[in-house]
């Protein structure tokens, strides 16, 4: 009996290590999709303290509860003179956080895309930014 225990102990130890690693290195399986139909739309833009805020409502589908960050790239408004650089940071209008908490299913979030104001109070188009990145956390 002691021989069997001595021989099976390393096997059980290896199994325990594999199971532990599977939980520690579990990949995030969240899938997030931006609905670019008329359910996602531009609301308005404004400036405040050398910042530009482009307010948009985005309809986002997530297959499970997840946290995401949202950013955008807007080269058109740099050329127009509204933005100093094309990088925009997404801020959740409901709680002023850069992390958006999505529930599984369809989500409607109001995003304030924040960028540096270049001095010309004119927007290229009243559309959501063309290049929106959604990253799971």
The CATH code that applies to domain 32-136 is 2.60.40
pLDDT of 25 strictly over 50 = no
Nearest 5°: CA angle at 108, between 106 and 112?
A: 145
12-to-26, 47, 57, 60, 107 alpha-carbon distances in Å: 21, 62, 52, 44, 44
| Mean pLDDT score, 57-68 | 97
pTM of the model: 0.78
pLDDT of 71 strictly over 90 = yes
pLDDT of 5 strictly over 70 = no
């Amino acid at each position: 009996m002691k021989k069997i225990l001595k021989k099976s102990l390393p096997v059980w130890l290896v199994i325990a290590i594999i199971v532990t690693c599977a939980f520690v290195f579990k990949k995030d399986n969240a899938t997030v999709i931006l609905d670019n139909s008329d359910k996602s739309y531009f609301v308005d833009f404004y400036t405040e303290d050398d910042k530009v805020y482009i307010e948009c409502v985005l309809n986002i589908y997530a297959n499970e509860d997840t946290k995401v960050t949202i950013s955008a790239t807007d080269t058109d408004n740099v050329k127009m003179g509204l933005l100093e650089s094309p990088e925009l940071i997404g801020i959740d209008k409901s709680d002023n956080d850069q992390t958006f908490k999505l529930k599984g299913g369809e989500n409607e979030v109001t995003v304030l895309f924040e960028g540096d104001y270049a001095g010309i109070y004119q927007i290229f188009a009243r559309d959501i930014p063309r290049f929106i990145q959604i990253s799971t956390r």
